[in-house]
Amino acid sequence: MRSNGRPRTASIQLKNGFYIEVCNKGYKKGMKIWSEDKKGMDEVARLYAGHKDVIILGEYKGGIPYVEMATS
């Protein structure tokens, strides 16, 4: 059999934007789908929600989840 090469040593850097994870029903691992804005993320989530498990991951900036701090 032919090998695919060496495994990656650095972690994957996610682009800035909004992400959802789409999995087959009953599975835990799926693929991440990127969208530039929240409206696009919501549309894609609604599209897949009928026949797949959809997990909304939210907004990512600089490769990490972005949490907006509430100011009082």
- Mean pLDDT of all residues belonging to the chain: 89
Which of the four pLDDT bands, split at 50, 70 and 90, describes residue 38? very high
- Residue with the two structure tokens 């599209």: 47
Domain encompassing residue 22: 17-65
Quick check: is 57 in a domain?
yes
How many structural domains comprise the chain? Answer: 1
Quick check: is 11 in a domain?
no
pTM of the model: 0.77
Quick check: is 71 in a domain?
no
Quick check: is 4 in a domain?
no
Quick check: is 70 in a domain?
no
How far is 67 from 27, CA to CA, in rounded Å? 27
Which of the four pLDDT bands, split at 50, 70 and 90, describes residue 67? confident
